[in-house]
Amino acid sequence: MKDYKISIIVPVYNAEKYLKKCVDSLLDQTYRNLEILLIDDGSKDAGGKICDGYAKKDARIRTVHKENGGLVSAWKKGVEVSSGQYLGFVDSDDWVDPDMVEEMAEHLTGGEWEIVASDYVLERDDGSKRFVWQELPPGEYLEREMKETVVPNLLGRENRYVAMSRCMKLISRTLIEENQKYSDPAIVVGEDSTIMLPALIDCKRLFVMDHKAYYHYRYIKESMVHKSDSRLYGNIQMLVKRVQQIVKDKFSGEEQSQRLKQVDQEAVFWMMLVLKNEARGNKKGYRRNILDICKSAEVRKLIKNTPVDIRQNANKLLYLVMKYPNHLTVSLLRGAIRTEYAKKEEREDMQPLISVIVPVYNGQDYLEKCIGSIEEQTYENLEIIIINDGSTDNTGQICKKLTETFDNIRVMDTKDVGVSAARNAGLDSAEGAFVTFVDADDRLRPKTLQVLFDCIMKTGSDAAGCSFEGWEKEEEWETFLSKRYAIGEPVKYIPSDYLKEEILKGNSRCWSKLYRRAAIGSLRFKEGLTIGEDMLFLVQFQSRIRGVAETAYPGYGYYHNPKGAMNRKFTERYMDQITCWELAREEILKIDGTLNDQVTAILIMGILLTVGKLAALSAKERRQMKRYARICHDKLKKEIKTAGAYQRLSGGYRIKSRLFLYVPQLYLFLYHMRGK
């Protein structure tokens, strides 16, 4: 690793309460070629003297005293006096892990236009914490990927694709010096957007760390972002104008027009922040202020001309008020926002939200108990999304009853689109930082989601899976539930090892796992497939991540449903099993080209299992389905030639493959007679 000089800039204002922890965490850095700049912005407490004391004790620290000018003026002064090739920022009430700079610096290349970004932990004074992850998957994004993937997603989204904070990053000096002209000390909320937006637009190489939350952000209720402040509306107006100027300077032609539309979308979400600010804190004037803001010509034009994609329920209500400002909607907003923030105090900020996606078709006999097992989880911060996929029984009524009983359930209706499309609808609607899938006839043990969440946190993985136990009768489930299991240490796999040791050995299910939603990103189940679709999703997921953890804890109860897809007689849908493994092989070989024989052997077994389903049909039905027998025969003839695949088959499958290959009709007849 090259030894680049890195400057860490710490703006300080009246921070005596927290400053020592912040500076000590910087002095503890394992990376040595470091200068630490403490910029005292006219502190009125002992903060300035504390800075001087540190400067006398350690040569890496320099203190600069200046007149109070605000956060932006302080970090700009730090840039002016710094000498590092790369710059990092830490606010004086926060702190960082000892290995932050060293591990991030390993991914620097010496380029003038690059950024290395990590994640953070939101820390409360009561000791609770919440990990916050970027939606942009980990990895390296070069100039082309920046232009095609990152920059188009920087603005106009309900959730940030890339964190706009100047902290938790190492940034090439050139990117800051070239773009700090956009940062105005008068803008005190969202001000980091005025430096990081142009820096990210100009960035030619972005490296996103693999879910490394080195930075500890102290949540302070008294900060302007978290309390009611009458200046917020004016601040947001200035911020919007500044971001518009950035876009006009950085883009031209059609791209400029597109980005300006995204600025308008961003403005809608910023206005929501203004409304929340008024509704939750301004006891006397909130109604008048909200109506004045929403009825202003500026906001009326913005709402009329700006379509936005809103998923979060709280934001839907805020948007409703903006669109239809009246005394009723404002009163509803006031009550909802105050209730929402009370809940956050108790629960949401302590645990990231997990979205539980439950697709169901004609599930009247088992849905309630499935949902009951989810509601009994020891992990409390859940949203449950039930996708009722065109059920023709009483499932719809049961869904309605469940929503009336539990306030964390949402029901979506689809028109018999299949399990893949139903799960995709759930993913599109999910608001959680984490996602899991539960089939409507299955159940969870009470600790399952907590165990899986802890596995992800311990290992820094993008997903975690547990084992399962099958059951068919209710008493079998009760017996399983009464057993006590030790929760051992999880095992973390890199994707290539997970393919070999788990997926290709049978652990190819999408359920019984918890996923980071940011790692899933735009990945979706391949629609139209009904057998093997979860395996294909899990394989495709491997190419987007750095690791998966597995625990032996049997947290998932799998119901052996006699009406399930695998227990029905052959239809053309059974061919999906073959299609899925053919598609999966392409993805697997991109990750590890040595696995061709192993994957092909599994594909051959899939072909023979499909043939077995065909053989179980009556003679008349087999004649009607003979084209599928021919397809299976042709595929087997091709795949059996793959080097090493035949040798990987068991003795029984070798005999079956040869018999079907040479005398297919006899094989179908014998298999049919065997099944009688």
Would you list the DSSP string of 321-344?
Answer: HHHS-SHHHHHHHHHHHHHHHHHI
**Cα gap 296→389, rounded to integer Å:** 43
pLDDT of residue 513: 97
Confidence of residue 675 (pLDDT cuts 50, 70, 90): low
Q: What mean pLDDT is predicted for residues 304-311?
A: 91
pLDDT of residue 228: 54
The region of weakest confidence among 24-33, 333-342, 546-555, 600-609 is 333-342
Instruction: Decide: residue 404, CB within 10 A, 0-12 exposed, 13-18 middle, 19+ buried.
Output: exposed
- Burial string for 603-628 (b: 16+ CB within 10 Å, else e) reads bbbbbbbbbbbbbbbeeeebeebeeb
The region of weakest confidence among 171-180, 514-523, 558-567 is 558-567
Confidence of residue 545 (pLDDT cuts 50, 70, 90): confident
**CA-based nearest residue to 610, from 639, 635, 591:** 635
In the predicted model, what is the mean pLDDT of the chain?
Answer: 91
If residue 614 lies in a helix (H) or strand (E), which one and from where to where?
A: helix 596-615
pLDDT one-digit tens code per residue, 166-202: 999 999 999 999 999 999 999 999 999 999 999 999 9
CA angle, corner 88, sides to 86 and 93, nearest 5?
165
- Name the more confident of 57 and 668: 57
The region of weakest confidence among 116-125, 184-193, 246-255, 594-603 is 116-125
> Are 86 and 3 within 8 A, CB to CB?
no
In angstroms, what CA-CA distances link 643 with 257, 305, 321, 598, 649? 55, 61, 65, 10, 12
Report the range out of 100-109, 229-238, 563-572, 575-584 with the highest average pLDDT: 100-109
Residues 6+ apart with CB under 8 A from 108: 2, 4, 86, 114, 116, 170
- Residue 463 is encoded by which pair of tokens? 């997903």
pLDDT of residue 444: 96
Confidence of residue 93 (pLDDT cuts 50, 70, 90): very high
Q: Which residues pair with 207 in a beta bridge?
A: 116, 140
Pairing relation of β-strands 215-218 and 120-123?
A: parallel
Look at residue 544 and tell me whether its pLDDT is greater than 90.
Answer: no
Confidence of residue 71 (pLDDT cuts 50, 70, 90): very high
**Cα gap 598→595, rounded to integer Å:** 5
pLDDT one-digit tens code per residue, 520-529: 988 999 998 8
In angstroms, what CA-CA distances link 309 with 156, 157, 276, 317? 9, 7, 19, 13
pLDDT of residue 567: 59
pLDDT one-digit tens code per residue, 394-422: 999 999 999 999 989 999 999 889 999 99
Q: What mean pLDDT is predicted for residues 85-99?
A: 97
Report the range out of 105-119, 215-229, 570-584 with the highest average pLDDT: 105-119
In angstroms, what CA-CA distances link 512 with 301, 468, 532, 553, 603? 48, 7, 16, 10, 24
pLDDT one-digit tens code per residue, 636-660: 999 999 999 999 999 999 999 999 9
> Are 525 and 537 within 8 A, CB to CB?
yes
Confidence of residue 634 (pLDDT cuts 50, 70, 90): very high
**Cα gap 577→584, rounded to integer Å:** 11
Helices (H) and strands (E) in the chain, counts: 28, 21
Calculate Rg over the CA atoms of the chain.
Answer: 29
pLDDT of residue 333: 85
Map residue 182 onto helix, strand or coil: helix
pLDDT one-digit tens code per residue, 448-485: 999 999 999 888 899 999 999 999 999 999 998 888 88
The number of angstroms, rounded, from the C-alpha of 99 to the middle of its chain's C-alpha atoms is 24
**CA-based nearest residue to 153, from 192, 120, 119, 200:** 200
pLDDT of residue 563: 66
**Cα gap 224→188, rounded to integer Å:** 8
Map residue 640 onto helix, strand or coil: coil
**What are the two backbone dihedrals, phi and then psi, of residue 172, each rounded to the nearest 5 degrees?**
-55, 140
Q: What mean pLDDT is predicted for residues 102-112?
A: 96
Look at residue 224 and tell me whether its pLDDT is greater than 90.
Answer: no
> Are 360 and 373 within 8 A, CB to CB?
no
Q: What mean pLDDT is predicted for residues 530-539?
A: 92
pLDDT of residue 350: 53
Confidence of residue 566 (pLDDT cuts 50, 70, 90): low
- Residue 366 is encoded by which pair of tokens? 């088992």
**Cα gap 137→117, rounded to integer Å:** 11
pLDDT of residue 546: 81
**Cα gap 40→475, rounded to integer Å:** 68
- Residue 264 is encoded by which pair of tokens? 């308008």
The conformation of residue 376, written as its DSSP 8-state character, comes to T
| Cα dihedral 319→322→324→329 (10° resolution) | 80
Look at residue 42 and tell me whether its pLDDT is greater than 80.
Answer: yes
pLDDT of residue 101: 97
pLDDT of residue 348: 44
pLDDT of residue 346: 47
- Residue 73 is encoded by which pair of tokens? 């003026």
